[in-house]
Structure 1
């Protein structure tokens, strides 16, 4: 289990205080979903919707890049 989970509603990493998903959590997610990149994209897309609700002040394009833009 990771210690790099999100602190809501700001979506900051509870461990390193960076925007979630932080670099460490991204690597963990890539490892966890190595056999199913589609499932990872769906999972992150679902979290993106929650983050957009929580951070309605944040630019939507920036949130999309943050949650999905790093996927291979």
Structure 2
């Protein structure tokens, strides 16, 4: 089990204090969802929607790239 979980509502990584998903969690997610890209996209899209509700002050495009743009 990873320690790199999001702390809501700030969406900061509990493991390293960086913005979630941090680099470590991104690598873990790619390994966990290897061969299941659609499932990874559904999971990250769900996180994206939650983060957009929790971070109304952040620009939508920035939040999108933080959650969805890094893995394609």
What TM-score, normalized by structure 2, do the two folds share? 0.97
SS at match of 1:30: helix
- Runs (5+) with no aligned partner, structure 1: none
- Runs (5+) with no aligned partner, structure 2: none
Count of residue correspondences: 72
SS at match of 1:44: helix
2:28 is aligned to 28
How big is each residue's C-alpha offset from its partner over 1:1-48, in whole Å with a ceiling of 9 and x where there is no partner? 100000110000001100000000000000000010111011100110
RMSD: 0.6
SS at match of 1:58: coil
Give, in whole Å, the separation in 2 of the partners of 1:47 and 1:4: 14
